C-alpha cells in the first residue's frame, strides 16, 4: 500500500494544525496498522521539511530531524507512526515536487503568461532557498524501483542535482520559450509567510543509488513535465515566441 495523501499547504497547516495532524500523522499510522493486519508492505511518502533546513551538505537519511513547521512536524510524526505500526515499512522522503495539479512550476508559468500579456507584475522569485526539484512522474518510477528492490526503512528520492527557486523558475521560463522575460532575485525575508521555509532542502540520494534506483536530473524532469499534459502551457515554438499553448487550470502551489 502506498500512501501519497497529505495536507501539503504548509501555510494552511500552521492555521489548521489539528487537520494537518489527522492527515499527515494519524492517517499513516492507521494505514500502516492495516497493512500489518493483512500482511502488506506500507509505503509512506514524506518530505524534506522534516529537517531544519540549516545544513550545508545534502541531508542523509540518518541525519537528525528537526522540523520547524506544523507541516514538517506532522509529517515526521507520520513517519514515526508508520515505522512503529509493525508492518514492513518504506519511508520515502522527496522534495520540491511538480506534476499534476498546483505546483511551483505551474504557478511561475501562469504568472509569466500574465506578465507577457501585460496583465501582471514583473516576476520576483526567492534565490536564497536551495532544494531538490522533482518531477512526480520520475518519483513514481523510482518508488516502483524501490518496491521491486524490496527496500525497507527510510530512503531519500528526488531528481538529481539541486537548484534555488529562482533557478528553477528561470529554467522553466526559458524551457517554455521565453528567455527574454526578466525574473528578479529576492530574499526569503522579502516574502514573509506563516510557515518557515527551509533554506536548504537538498537530499542525499546515495542510499537509493546503492539500491539501484537513480532518477534523472531535475532539468530532465522539468523538460518531461513541460511536454506532458499536466503542464499549464505547451512550450512556445521557437519560430513564434510569445504564442501560448494550453490554457492554465490553476495558479497556486
Contacts of 170 (CB under 8 A, 6+ apart): 125, 183
Q: How far is CA 182 from each of CA 113, 115, 120, 123, 173, rounded to the nearest angstrom?
A: 13, 10, 13, 7, 10
Q: Cβ distance 155 to 90 under 8 Å?
A: yes
Q: Which of 59, 71, 155, 225 is catalytic?
A: 71
- Per-residue CA distances from 248 to 94, 105, 229, 230 (Å): 26, 12, 11, 10
Query: Locate cell 538529481: which residue?
Result: 160
- 187 and 124 Cβ atoms separated by less than 8 Å: no
Going from the C-alpha of 119 to that of each of 24, 191, 250, the distances in angstroms are 38, 21, 16
Known catalytic membership, residue 71: yes
Instruction: Give the integer Cα–Cα distance in Å for 45 and 116.
Output: 37
- Give the integer Cα–Cα distance in Å for 204 and 195: 24
What is the C-alpha separation between 170 and 152, in angstroms, rounded? 37
Catalytic residues, which ones? 71
Amino acid at each position: 500500500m502506498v500512501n501519497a495523501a497529505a495536507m501539503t499547504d504548509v501555510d494552511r497547516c500552521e492555521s489548521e494544525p489539528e487537520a494537518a495532524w489527522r492527515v499527515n500523522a494519524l492517517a499513516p499510522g492507521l494505514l500502516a496498522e492495516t497493512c500489518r493486519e493483512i500482511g502488506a508492505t506500507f509505503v509512506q511518502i514524506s518530505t524534506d521539511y522534516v529537517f531544519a533546513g540549516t545544513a550545508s551538505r545534502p541531508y542523509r537519511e540518518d541525519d537528525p530531524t528537526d522540523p520547524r513547521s506544523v507541516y514538517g512536524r506532522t509529517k515526521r510524526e507520520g513517519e514515526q507512526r508508520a515505522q512503529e505500526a509493525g508492518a514492513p515499512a518504506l519511508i520515502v522522503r522527496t522534495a520540491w515536487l511538480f506534476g499534476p495539479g498546483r505546483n511551483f512550476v505551474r504557478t511561475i508559468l501562469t504568472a509569466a503568461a500574465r506578465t507577457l500579456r501585460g496583465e501582471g507584475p514583473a516576476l520576483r522569485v526567492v534565490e536564497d532557498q536551495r532544494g531538490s526539484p522533482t518531477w512526480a512522474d520520475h518519483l513514481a518510477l523510482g518508488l516502483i524501483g524501490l518496491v521491486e528492490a524490496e527496500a525497507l526503512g527510510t530512503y531519500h528520492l528526488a531528481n538529481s542535482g539541486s537548484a534555488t527557486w529562482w533557478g528553477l523558475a528561470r529554467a522553466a521560463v526559458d524551457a517554455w520559450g521565453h528567455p527574454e522575460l526578466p525574473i528578479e532575485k529576492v530574499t526569503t525575508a522579502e516574502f514573509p509567510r506563516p510557515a518557515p521555509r527551509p533554506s536548504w532542502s537538498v537530499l542525499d540520494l546515495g542510499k537509493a543509488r546503492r539500491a539501484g534506483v537513480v532518477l534523472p536530473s531535475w532539468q530532465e524532469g522539468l523538460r518531461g513535465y513541460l511536454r506532458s499534459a499536466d503542464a499549464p502551457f505547451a512550450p512556445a515554438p521557437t519560430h513564434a515566441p510569445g504564442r501560448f499553448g494550453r490554457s492554465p487550470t490553476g495558479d497556486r502551489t
